Structure 1
């Protein structure tokens, strides 16, 4: 996949609470929390934590079809809320599900659509309308959502005619869940996610003012200006005197990148590069395993951001924060391999980093 085709990043921003009494969400909806809206041919039971075997809570749902593909396509992210599992990559699961448009139409009537300002928004390729039709930036500091050009993606890889590609099977994660356990699965309050192209946010005064406050707070705590932490491409200086407590300049770069819109809860750039909140392992390329189903490579697709943590509120009214993270980076099969007619989701790869200064985003 050519990196030249991925020259912009899409930003996900909270767009208000999803009131189930007024709007019916579906697999076409981008949202935080709530119950996952599976494609109509899929199992509706949640996966389990690899570490403690507890059922996982649904965190984010993203509708992200690929260009020129006949498939609907979703990513669902789940996490374990137990204290001993919080912040561990093995306690998160990301599932990719696909379904032919014709199959979905055959088994399910179209859902009642939400209003334009809270409408489902595709993250890539087939999406023509990237934002609201009402006033620009309503409720979000003037973050304007505009139409953008479709991007080229790797073609969907049909596996039904290729005997070397096995059927996705994560059934073990769905087995042995009792009714009591299903009732005990925590559910976060659902919120719509709206989409804006990152380049459209440049120059937004309200966002930049907020960003400057965050950066000043960071500098006060670290005892060094963020600008001093930038690595020089000429001298190669190591900045040991002005080095941040975190041990490198990664965090300051993370802060500067998100400064145009600190309230972003998700970044999407399939085929692009993630931004890490702390220095990633030196063998990160090896940690991102190949696709378990076709053996092909994986590519970065999206990441969850620290501002999402404050939105993860229990529907039962509990105010206790049960899930904290710095960023959750998701890599998916480059070919988006799939077997037509499958009713089992494909598990992809995610990498979790904790936030060294979580309090700055609360």
Structure 2
């Protein structure tokens, strides 16, 4: 059942660095980089590049439970930081993992001492019909679980389950810590959220201010210049050089919030940076879930502003360049209770047309 959260576009924004000395992230944390925080019972995977075989770096973690679902749900995106692999779909991997909510009756804190906006996705939760007492269960992109599922958790033995989760997590750290270190680690940042629709009022205010500025310049005979943020006209001029209607639409759309690093709209329409080749478009339209064989649907995409944040913790460069990375997931979000293996979903990478101007 689609939730109101799934019928609108949510924008992910960088919300400060995740300092491991001050913050402890969990599967509830939405973040860029760092190590992936796997759900309890999910075996940790270290995916490798489909082109060069190198271990992939963890790029983004999103906590995105679905409305009326009894599962916690995460998406983890990984990419090869090698320059030769940049911009290739086969050098990216997206893994979906789920866990019954009743297994985590005693839940870890999303992030200790974290900035409030970093993991409180639903600042406007009341607009989505979320009750105050359920707000903690719905701090992800896509909503949360039904009230009866939450009530069922209360009847479980929290001390026993908390112990199981803690032991499981520690064992995974011991067994797989070494392989985890093989992959380069990107500097971690919190991701906060804003509804795209909320930004429309801000743009209207800016346009009004720009009009007042032009009137003042005309009246006083001076040139003050454009107000900061008036980027739509700039993007339209840029797109005219390309002569690409798809790119023009992309740039005009993101001019509403140029700093967005992620767009989330499960079941919505992706925002392509360029017209996909006919074969690729047909493949995306007919892509089937590798686990159940059912259809896939668009869920989220990474945006160009993310590229500048992708820096390795060891000081080296993560040579990741892209225009956008689109993620398609199983429409039914198929899962077997008790499964310990994440499901691989579909990534489609488009390069930035502007990159061709510098080659």
Provide closer, same or farther for how the CA distance between residues 196 and 217 of structure 1 changes in structure 2, counting only shifts above 3 A.
closer
Q: Which of these two proteins has the greater Rg computed from alpha carbons? A: 2
Q: Could you tell me how far 1:179 is from its partner in structure 2?
A: 7.9
In structure 2, how many angstroms separate the alpha carbons of the residues matched to 1:301 and 1:257?
18
1:21, 1:3 → 2: CA distance? Answer: 37
Q: Within 1, Cα distance between the matches of 2:119 and 2:279?
A: 37
Alignment equivalent of 2:283, drawn from 281, 287, 311: 287
Cα distance change of structure 1 residues 84 and 102 upon mapping to structure 2, 3 Å threshold:
same
Contact 2:27–2:110 (8 Å) recurs in 1 = no
Q: Any residues of structure 2 matched to 1:18-33 within 5 Å, and which? A: 18-33=18-33
In the other structure, the counterpart of 1:266 is 262
In structure 2, the partner of 1:69 is 69
Task: Give the one of 303, 313, 322 matched to 2:301.
Answer: 303
How many residues in Structure 1 have an aligned counterpart in Structure 2?
296
Tell me which residue corresponds to 1:149: 128
Partner residue in 1 for 2:324: 327
1:330-353 Cα shifts (integer Å, max 9, x gaps) = 000000000000010000001000
Partner of 1:231: none
Tell me if the contact between 2:330 and 2:345 (Cα under 8 Å) persists in the aligned partners.
Answer: yes
Q: CA deviation at 1:98?
A: 0.1
CA distance in 2, matches of 1:47, 1:279: 29
- Distance in 2 between the 1:211 and 1:281 partners? 33
Q: Which residue matches 2:9?
A: 9
- Cα 1:292/1:210, change in 2 over 3 Å: farther
Write the distance in 2 (CA, Å) between the matches of 1:216 and 1:99: 45
- Per the TM alignment, residue 44 of structure 1 is displaced from its structure 2 partner at its CA by 2.3
Find the counterpart in structure 2 of residue 216 from structure 1. Answer: 234
Taking a change above 3 Å as real, the CA distance of residues 284 and 114 of structure 1, as seen in their structure-2 partners, is farther
The answer to whether the 8 Å contact 1:13/1:195 transfers is yes
Summarize the Cα distance change of 1:295–1:207 in structure 2 as closer, same or farther, 3 Å threshold. Answer: farther
Distance 1:118 1:52, change over 3 A: same
* TM-aligned CA deviation for residue 71 of structure 1: 0.5
Structure 2 counterpart of 1:160: none
* Counterpart contact for 2:44–2:176, Cα < 8 Å: no
Residues 146-165 of structure 1 show CA distances to partners (whole Å, capped at 9, x for unaligned) of 75316999x99xxxxxxxxx
Answer yes or no: is 1:249 the counterpart of 2:253: no
Task: Give the 3-state SS of the residue equivalent to 2:29 in structure 1.
Answer: coil
1:5/1:336 Cα in 2 relative to 1: closer, same or farther (>3 Å)? same
Contact 1:29 1:63 in 2 (8 A): yes
TM-score by length of 1: 0.73
How far apart in 1 are the matches of 2:125 and 2:206?
17
Query: Aligned ranges for residues 32-111 of structure 1 at < 5 Å?
Result: 32-105=32-105
TM-score norm. by structure 2 comes to 0.73
* Separation in structure 1 between the aligned mates of residue 181 and residue 3 of structure 2, nearest angstrom: 44
Give the aligned partner of residue 120 of structure 1. Answer: 119
* Aligned position for 1:227: none
Distance 2:178 2:3 in 1: 47
Unaligned residue ranges in structure 2 (runs of 5+): 131-141, 147-174, 208-226
* C-alpha displacement of 1:8: 1.7
The secondary structure found in structure 1 opposite 2:278 is coil
Partner of 1:240: none
| Gap change, CA 1:150 and 1:287, over 3 Å in 2 | farther
Distance 1:210 1:27 in 2: 37
Deviations 1:172-205 (A, max 9, x none): xxxxx99876434211111100011000011325
Is the helix fraction higher in 1 or 2?
Answer: 2
Instruction: Using the TM superposition, give the Cα deviation of residue 283 of structure 1 relative to its aligned residue in structure 2, in angstroms.
Output: 3.9
Residues 3 and 272, structure 1, Cα contact 8 Å, conserved in 2: no
